[in-house]
Structure 1
Amino acid sequence: MRSTLFATFLSSTCLIGVPAFADVTPEEVWENYQSMMAAMGMDITAEESREGDTLVVRNMVYGMDIPNPAGAVSTISTAREIRFQALSGGKVGIEYTAPITSISRVPANPMLDMPGYETRVDMTFGGVTEVSGVKNDMRYTMDGGSMTMKSAPAVVEGVTLQPSVDMSIEGIVGSYTMLRNGDALSSDMDFTAARMTYGFEPFETEGTTVEMATSATDLRGSGTMSLSGAKGADAFATIIGGSTMDIDLSSGASTAMIRVLDEEAGDDMELTSTSGSSTLNFALNDGAVGYTAHAKDMLVSVAGAQIPGQQIQFGLGSMTAGVLFPLKAGDAPQAYELEIGLEELALPELAWMIADPTGQLPHDPATLKLHFAGTLTNKMDLFDFNALENMEPDSPPRMAVNTVEIPEIFLSLAGATIAGTGAGKFLDKEPAMPGGMPPFAGTMSLNLKGVTDLINKLTASGILPQEESTMAQMMLGMFTLPGEKEGELVSDLEMTEDGAILANGQPLPF
């Protein structure tokens, strides 16, 4: 499904398409369309004919192969009819009068014991896209367009490998530019959509029926993209290694539902969730790929006869997830980054009844934030699947972490907090064990508040055995010093280049 969606998305970007200049002709718009597809590594065949003021393109067929460790996933798409009509004011209207059908063939994967299968997706586009500009610099504009997608289920020997999917986007308003410079293409986009829905048709698996549906409102997207248009044996690798993208997506309120209906009475379960606004940034630059996702005001409810009280709920004030990773080989160190954040996690009272039956602990919402960054050296294009497949088990490592930075570690739970920062580097020395990591040197600073009090409360409530409580207090005494405020502990840890471990300047006995 991912390969089909990727190919059909690339083919349909011209629908949303924002410079009003001189006239453009239907033939020029069609030529620009083909150039865009070619820059994405696709070959096109089609039948063309003129019908008055309209250029009609029928039976357009295009495809691409997307690399996969078990073999390329091939996708072939067919657009039965596209009409390019000359409009007043030197513009051209593009209309898809029939769905685009995409068929993807996924090869068998013996390592995962997965059979090969085929998927089919039909995409329908509503509305007319207006094109203005000049031959090599065009703007595509939509006002109230729509898109629907429906996929057939992929079933092999009675097993549903991929359920049928329905998706729709309504009220699309926006524009997309397409600037050609030789084989290279660049563009920027800005669009909104009123509503999106996505869901699986009910499917059966191991005696249960599963349903899933999501919806989101007030969608917005903006960003820039450039494709080099360079030709290569592996179109996918050429795109990843030679393109740049910076896309921002956002939505307003959204909902999600998963329902599991069991053939045994009383085993049904339903999960529902709502969230406020959310954002997603995706970036691709010089072979480094990254994304940052953020969502706010989430509420999750799980209901079922087997759940005490029939239902539990928990809330999350905000969630953040981010990754930056270099996929392209290079001699110089490249940046990487990982960020995870769960803020204001409100656990259900049922969880507190189990964890704190005597009511000793504060039931404040919990927060966890982790942020790691640094540099690494990558000696292999990770989008070159042929090279990855040909690697021998005893091949020397092609990737090495150089530096590690910890801008933030933060945990707040049951009235206690732990906060810290750190930094370090891997030394240019042989690993202590063959195949292991080189020696590491670095520092970390920690600030702990309310931890001693939390240990005492856990011990008093019987959750933490006395011997474990004593051990925890001994470890705190070894690694920390009293801070400026009551209940505060601080610690400065260091791993030196000669292998020593220091806590607040004092060597530890191990």
Structure 2
Amino acid sequence: MTQSFVSRGALAACTAVLATPSFADITPADVWDSWQSYLSGFTLDMTATEQRTGDDILVTDVSISFEVPDEDGTVTITLPDMDFISRGDGTVEMKYGADMSVTARIEGEGGPDSQATIDIVPVGLSTIASGEPNDITYTYSAASLTYSVAEVLVEGAPIAEIGAQIEGDVTVTGMTGLVKIATEGLTSIQQDVRYDSMTYDVRFVAPEDDGSFVTAGTVDDLRVESALSISQDIDLENPFSIFNEELNISIEASQGASQSSMSGNDGNAPFSSESASASGSFGMLFNSDVLEASMSSFDASFNFFGEDIPLPVSGEVGEASMSFSLPLAETADPQDFFMNFAIVDAIIPDLLWNIFDPGAALERGPATISVGMEGTTKLMMGAFNPAFFESDDVPATLESLSLTDLEVSVAGAELTGAGDFTFDNTDLSSFDGFPRPEGAADFRLTGGNQLLDSLISMGLVSEGDAMGARMMMGVFTVAGPGDDELNSRLEVTGEGHVLANGQRLR
């Protein structure tokens, strides 16, 4: 029989459970009912045809649809057939139809539909569900899964008819993992998936010769852990309703060696690029209290060529990383934040050095740029408040700021520094609308004069410009104990005075 009912959509979860197989101390009916219950709160329409044989349930013609807010159209997702089979031990096996594919169709009002179909080819796919009706764990594994672009229609016509092309596939091997879905109270999804490797190969041609590219690559030892908690009172016609105190998203991902390549034409000229890294990671935490993110790459290399660039741009980086944490909640007390950025041991090949330094006047060792800051702030309005982004002024105050790390090392010169400041938000006149700071920062520069001399010998800096630079350094710095060392201490007093090494500048 065919059942149609309003669902609340977790299109993502359907695809995750389908594309990454699944775990239950339950019956096939419990598992199928949990899918319907899980989807029943996102104002999605779901239809399916059920066929029951004893305890087993075969579900065919599965589709999920929803209207696009503020647009004249509907998106419909068609999923492959699913067979929920009792294993006789309180667990349920899920099997998929031979024609395993996912189709997304956009139905416009008064015009032909557009759609895309992805074929899925599994090898050794196993999906087992266990747990309780409102708290089910899906364990899954597969020797490999390949996702391929099967068909793309634009306004009812094949994409080739408008002079475009898109084809390609993504294959993962050695996949194992689990998805845990709880639907009582909050909707909660936890996932831990691992792949021995992932490869991809994609080709795209834009219509009317507007450009094309081919990209391919591999990623080894990929692992993704994620957790999502979301309210069951989401209105898809009001996307902002998702941002409430019940929302919580966390992601931790890591990978081993990777490499990628891309070549094509941007519509005007050809280009090509290659990149590789030994390992990398990504993390994110997002809820009503905080937004945090971090990413890093180690032992990376890159090579880029474009027709407008006379020589390939290439290099190596020992470490590239970025992280930050920003408070989002309204509180009476100061909240912490931090931001860090680093490019460590960047190596530029001699071929590029020789373009502007053919005489090797500059030291060509690895370069490093590292900056770290932390501080405290007060938010007068939470970021999940719709009025937060409508305010003309940022509804927050800066309470303190510390430079925890500064290192710039290049061409034989090195600049380091650190400092701490607090801010008086009642005084916005001393510094032209900015809260008055109070505190000090210390800096140390080594090799600066030698670098300046080298730039003069190369003809990149004139003697006059160099004299002006040295006079400026004399205002802000004093000679240090080391060879070619300059030190500086910059202070802002409670009266708003600015001092450099004890000498008042303002």
Alignment partner, residue 124 of structure 1: 120
Q: 1:259: how far off?
A: 0.9
Contact 1:166 1:201 in 2 (8 A): no
- Distance (whole Å) between structure 2 residues aligned to residue 415 and residue 496 of structure 1: 34
- Distance (whole Å) between structure 1 residues aligned to residue 290 and residue 59 of structure 2: 38
Q: 1:365: how far off?
A: 1.4
Work out which of the residue numbers 280, 283, 286 in structure 2 matches 1:284.
286
Partner letter of residue 337 of structure 2? Y
Could you tell which deviates more after superposition, 43-52 or 365-374? 43-52
- Distance (whole Å) between structure 1 residues aligned to residue 466 and residue 302 of structure 2: 34
In the alignment of these two chains, the number of paired residues is 483
Structure 1, unmatched stretches of 5+, are 1-5, 108-116
Q: 1:7: how far off?
A: 6.7
Q: Does residue 84 of structure 1 match 2:84?
A: yes
- Distance (whole Å) between structure 2 residues aligned to residue 240 and residue 149 of structure 1: 37
Note the 1:69-468 alignment, pairs <5 A.
Answer: 75-97=75-97, 98-103=100-105, 120=116, 122=118, 124=120, 126=122, 127-144=125-142, 146=145, 148=147, 150=149, 166-180=169-183, 182-204=184-206, 208-231=211-234, 234=238, 237-238=241-242, 241-261=245-265, 267-303=269-305, 307-308=309-310, 311-327=312-328, 332-379=333-380, 382=383, 387=387, 391=390, 395-429=392-426, 431-432=428-429, 436-468=433-465
Work out which of the residue numbers 54, 57, 65 in structure 1 matches 2:56.
54
- Distance (whole Å) between structure 1 residues aligned to residue 449 and residue 387 of structure 2: 53
Q: Does residue 490 of structure 1 match 2:487?
A: yes
Q: 1:222: how far off?
A: 2.4
CA RMSD of aligned residues (A): 3.9
Q: 1:44: how far off?
A: 3.8
3-state SS in 2 of match to 1:90: coil
The share of aligned pairs that are identical, in percent, is: 24
- Distance (whole Å) between structure 2 residues aligned to residue 403 and residue 462 of structure 1: 43
Q: 1:19: how far off?
A: 8.2
Q: 1:366: how far off?
A: 0.9
Q: TM-score, normalised by structure 2?
A: 0.81
Q: 1:74: how far off?
A: 6.9
Q: Deviations over 1:144-201 (max 9, x none)?
A: 1525253866979999999667434333212222344x32244543321122234542
- Distance (whole Å) between structure 1 residues aligned to residue 136 and residue 116 of structure 2: 32
- Distance (whole Å) between structure 2 residues aligned to residue 66 and residue 408 of structure 1: 47
Partner letter of residue 174 of structure 1? G
Rate the CA distance shift 1:132–1:207 in 2: closer, same or farther, 3 A.
Answer: closer
Rate the CA distance shift 1:421–1:262 in 2: closer, same or farther, 3 A.
Answer: closer
Q: 1:275: how far off?
A: 1.3
Rate the CA distance shift 1:500–1:166 in 2: closer, same or farther, 3 A.
Answer: farther
Rate the CA distance shift 1:41–1:422 in 2: closer, same or farther, 3 A.
Answer: farther
Q: 1:29: how far off?
A: 1.2
Q: 1:106: how far off?
A: 11
Rate the CA distance shift 1:347–1:331 in 2: closer, same or farther, 3 A.
Answer: same
Q: 1:224: how far off?
A: 3.7
- Distance (whole Å) between structure 2 residues aligned to residue 66 and residue 423 of structure 1: 49
Contact 2:165 2:205 in 1 (8 A): no
3-state SS in 1 of match to 2:361: coil
Could you tell which deviates more after superposition, 439-448 or 120-129? 120-129
Q: Deviations over 1:106-154 (max 9, x none)?
A: 99xxxxxxxxx96645363732311122333322111215252538669
Q: 1:349: how far off?
A: 2.0
Alignment partner, residue 503 of structure 1: 500
Rate the CA distance shift 1:331–1:11 in 2: closer, same or farther, 3 A.
Answer: farther
Partner letter of residue 36 of structure 2? Q
Partner letter of residue 347 of structure 1? I
- Distance (whole Å) between structure 2 residues aligned to residue 46 and residue 10 of structure 1: 17
Alignment partner, residue 470 of structure 2: 473
- Distance (whole Å) between structure 2 residues aligned to residue 438 and residue 8 of structure 1: 47
Alignment partner, residue 112 of structure 1: none
Q: 1:278: how far off?
A: 0.9
Q: Deviations over 1:407-428 (max 9, x none)?
A: 2121110011111223324422
Partner letter of residue 128 of structure 2? E
Rate the CA distance shift 1:294–1:412 in 2: closer, same or farther, 3 A.
Answer: same
Contact 1:443 1:495 in 2 (8 A): yes
- Distance (whole Å) between structure 2 residues aligned to residue 153 and residue 399 of structure 1: 47
Q: 1:340: how far off?
A: 1.8
Q: Deviations over 1:272-293 (max 9, x none)?
A: 1111111111212334222211
Q: TM-score, normalised by structure 1?
A: 0.81
- Distance (whole Å) between structure 2 residues aligned to residue 382 and residue 123 of structure 1: 40
Rate the CA distance shift 1:311–1:25 in 2: closer, same or farther, 3 A.
Answer: same
Alignment partner, residue 17 of structure 2: 14
- Distance (whole Å) between structure 2 residues aligned to residue 325 and residue 152 of structure 1: 42
Contact 2:430 2:496 in 1 (8 A): no
3-state SS in 2 of match to 1:360: coil
- Distance (whole Å) between structure 2 residues aligned to residue 18 and residue 77 of structure 1: 20
Rate the CA distance shift 1:469–1:370 in 2: closer, same or farther, 3 A.
Answer: same
3-state SS in 2 of match to 1:89: coil
Partner letter of residue 131 of structure 2? G
Rate the CA distance shift 1:448–1:283 in 2: closer, same or farther, 3 A.
Answer: same
Rate the CA distance shift 1:77–1:427 in 2: closer, same or farther, 3 A.
Answer: farther
Contact 2:455 2:461 in 1 (8 A): yes
Contact 1:240 1:287 in 2 (8 A): no
Contact 2:388 2:395 in 1 (8 A): no
Structure 2, unmatched stretches of 5+, are 1-8
Contact 1:345 1:366 in 2 (8 A): yes
3-state SS in 2 of match to 1:217: strand
Contact 2:339 2:373 in 1 (8 A): yes
- Distance (whole Å) between structure 1 residues aligned to residue 380 and residue 105 of structure 2: 35
